[in-house]
Amino acid sequence: MSSGEKYLAAAYAVIFVTVLVYVAIIAAKLTRLERETAELARLAQARRHERG
Amino acid sequence: MLAALAAMLVGSSLVLVFFVAPEDADQGLSQKIFYFHVPIALTAYACFGWGAHKALLLLWRKDERYDLESFVAIHQGTIFGALTLATGSIWAKASWGHWWLWSENQLVLFLVLFLFYSAYFMLRFSLEEGPRRANISAVYALFGIVLVPVSFLAIRLAENVIHPTVFTREGPQMSGTMFFTFCVAWIAITSLAYTLYRLELLGKRLDSNLRELREALSS
């Protein structure tokens, strides 16, 4: 591998890894929000049963 | 749909960069960093501009939803700014033999712009959530936008030109295939940034709505 190829691979790897980490962080956050939404839905349902 | 389009465009631009665009006679393979480095830098400028636009709307219309939109745009701009610095530094090492040159105004000005917007987060998170934080963050975002044209023009006005100027008054200084590849890569990076912006904004809005709902249910 020539030095030009190494630098080219490094530059594109930096972009790829950054975008991947960013998407992974957003995906983890959306998974947490989904879990919290389900929890709140259960809580709201329990409240409805208590009242009525 | 938007994510699929962004993925398709990024894939197409990678094919063009590695299999269609010719190798540069002077710089060889390392010149191919240009096809993503420049669009990423332009996208960072666009994100800071979008963040400032939303900040102006917040101050003008007093609608708090613009605060989140401005914050997400600046967050995106900072990430793309970090990528510009990283890819630019790698390209500089390959072309000039140095990772960084403090004597180059355009590099230093982009670093100043990046650090200015990095400080935006320190300011924002040091204040309590509410209209005061939104207004101060908006004013800061508006001040920062002044640095964008300075940084952009520095590449053209610098006397000591080591940083290449590809787009001049005579048009793009590259072959038709190279210019086409650059344009596709630019559209791809812009669509990727917009997709990530929408995704992050969706997550933040959901988070905010859920917090309000939790508070309402617990009271």
B3 within domain boundaries: no
Residue among B84, B94, B81, B85 at smallest CA distance from B31: B94
B57 within domain boundaries: yes
Task: Choose among B33, B196, B200: nearest Cβ to A8.
Answer: B33
Q: Letter for the amino acid at B181?
A: T
B190 within domain boundaries: yes
Cβ atoms of B195 and B6 closer than 8 Å: yes
Chain B: nearest CA to A52, how far in angstroms? 16
A30 has a chain B CB within 8 A of its CB: yes
Chain A: nearest CA to B60, how far in angstroms? 31
Helix (H), strand (E) at residue B104: none
Q: Is the pLDDT of residue B127 over 60?
A: yes
How far apart are the two ends of chain A, measured CA to CA in Å? 73
- For chain B, strand residue ranges (E) read 167-168, 171-172
B5 within domain boundaries: no
Per-residue confidence band for A1, with pLDDT thresholds at 50, 70 and 90: confident
B181 C-beta neighbours (distance < 10 Å), count: 24
Q: State whether residue A2 is helix, strand or coil.
A: coil
pLDDT given at position B160: 55
B7 has a chain A CB within 8 A of its CB: no
Q: Is the pLDDT of residue B38 over 90?
A: yes
Half-sphere exposure of A11 (CA within 13 A, CB side): 29
B6 within domain boundaries: no
- Tens digit of pLDDT for each residue in B168-195? 666 677 788 899 999 999 999 999 999 9
User: How many independent structural domains does chain B possess?
Assistant: 1
Q: Is the pLDDT of residue B161 over 60?
A: no
Q: Write down the mean pLDDT value for chain B.
A: 89
B199 within domain boundaries: yes
pLDDT given at position B74: 97
pLDDT given at position B36: 95
Most confident listed range (A38-47, B35-44, B89-98)? B35-44
Cβ atoms of B120 and B141 closer than 8 Å: yes
Q: Which residues pair with B171 in a beta bridge?
A: B168
Residue pointed to by tokens 């972009």 = A15
Cβ atoms of B37 and B91 closer than 8 Å: yes
Per-residue confidence band for B26, with pLDDT thresholds at 50, 70 and 90: confident
How large is the ipTM? 0.85
B202 within domain boundaries: yes
B87 has a chain A CB within 8 A of its CB: yes
Cβ distance of B82 and A43 shorter than 8 Å:
no
pLDDT given at position B156: 66
Q: State whether residue B98 is helix, strand or coil.
A: coil
Compute the average pLDDT of residues A19-23: 94
Task: Choose among B90, B202, B206: nearest Cβ to A7.
Answer: B90
pLDDT given at position B58: 96
Q: Write down the mean pLDDT value for chain A.
A: 90
pLDDT given at position B136: 96
B56 within domain boundaries: yes
Residue B111 belongs to domain spanning: 40-213
Task: Choose among B30, B37, B199: nearest Cβ to A4.
Answer: B30
State the Cα–Cα distance between residues B164 and B175, nearest whole angstrom: 16
A47 vs A35, higher pLDDT? A35
Q: Between A and B, how many CB-CB pairs are < 8 A?
A: 71
Q: Is the pLDDT of residue B53 over 60?
A: yes
